[in-house]
A = this chain, B = another copy of it.
Amino acid sequence: MGVTAAVVGASGYGGGELLRLLLAHPEIEIGALAANTSAGLPVTDVHPNLPDLEGRVFTDAEALAAAEADVVFLALPHGQSAAVAATLPGTVRVVDLGADHRLADPQAWRRAYGGEHAGTWTYGMPELPGARARIAASRRVAAPGCYPTASTLALAPLLAAGLVEPKDLSVVAASGTSGAGRSAKVNLLGSEVMGDLTAYKVGTHQHRPEIVQALSGVAGTAVSLSFTPVLAPLPRGILATCSGRATVAGADPDAVYEALRAAYAGEPFVRVLPPGRWPHAAATLGGNAVHVQGTYDAESGRAIVVSAIDNLGKGAAGQALQCANLMLGLPETAGLTAQGIAP
């Protein structure tokens, strides 16, 4: 007896990736597919890469309430999840790929996104300490953002092990363009982004409070973080260069690497690379993997961890499905892979 999943916001990049994953999922059937601006369109008009959805048509979100689904994925622009979530029965599992329910502090949410805070859901990053059980027990889960996934998984083991100071953490993360969504903007045109690199929202990006919240939880104290996102000319992929000032313990040349290995032993989707190998975003393409590598840099006194993910995979749809698997009591890895497409 299968499980049925509905997707709201199924015409965007995150929604489309989710559909691709669900099509290959051994236990989940695809139910209603809602996409307000594309309602009435054939799904394959928007996602020609998914021929197995031929015959399926987008509905609008209203139609969803009537539909039966065991799990509902919300892949909507921020500020739009709460209204849809309110129409769903409490018994239905809901995973929000958007930002609406990630932050616990309403003021932080308002500063980052504007508008009214819709409430806080369980934060869906299973690899954080204690998170797996919390997610499994939840009916409402907020899947993390793409930058927060890459950044948090890089720095959390170092904070947990006391290897870096909680203040003055630094993340410079380059991302492919799909992270900006499928909106027609001049600055996202191929003509503009190919051959370009640019920093944006320096010191003001809405993902910073989310990273700070997650890392503060791990550190047991408020962390501070400089965060600079960079737009890079590739469709998918994030490479995050993360660092913190090493404590005395962190100044041991092997400590950083060992902390990463210890933290992620047994994790199905986090791969600590062999010594001397640094992550390639391309190695994670299309999968749910996180690749990390770290070192202590004696000259600057900083511990440095570099991480790579597919921003639409572990950074969005893959992690959302990983959470759904946990919530539904399915194997955590069902329908997911740690393999990437290369070259």
Contacts and interface: CB of A to CB of B under 8 A. Distances in A.
A9 to B, nearest CB: 15
Contacts of A24: 337, 339
Given A48-B273, A278-B198, A168 B300 contact: yes
A49 interface: yes
A299 B212 CA distance: 11
A58 B112 CA distance: 34
B49 A283 contact: yes
A94 B340 CA distance: 26
Contact of A339 (B49, B189, B239): B49
Interface of A: 13, 16, 20, 23-24, 42, 44-45, 47-52, 54, 167-170, 172, 174, 176-178, 180, 182-186, 188-200, 202-203, 208, 224-228, 230, 232-239, 241, 243, 245, 271, 273-274, 277-287, 289, 291, 293, 295, 297, 299-302, 304, 306, 308, 337-343
17 contacts: A48-B342, A49-B287, A50-B340, A51-B271, A169-B300, A182-B343, A188-B191, A190-B235, A191-B343, A196-B234, A197-B239, A197-B281, A198-B279, A202-B278, A202-B306, A226-B243, A235-B343
Contact of A237 (B42, B195, B273): B195
A299 B209 CA distance: 10
Contacts of A228: 172, 241, 304, 306
Contact of A194 (B49, B190, B225): B190
Contact of A297 (B51, B203, B236, B285): B203
- Nearest 10 Cβ contacts at the A-B interface: A196-B282, A226-B300, A49-B340, A190-B193, A197-B239, A172-B172, A49-B342, A49-B283, A203-B297, A191-B343
Contacts of A16: 342-343
Contacts of A285: 49, 195, 341
Contacts of A302: 168, 170, 226
Q: Which of A168, A233, A279 has the most CB of B within 10 A?
A: A233
A202 B172 contact: no
A300 B224 contact: yes
Contacts of A198: 239, 278-282, 308
Nearest to A185: B184
A341 B279 CA distance: 21
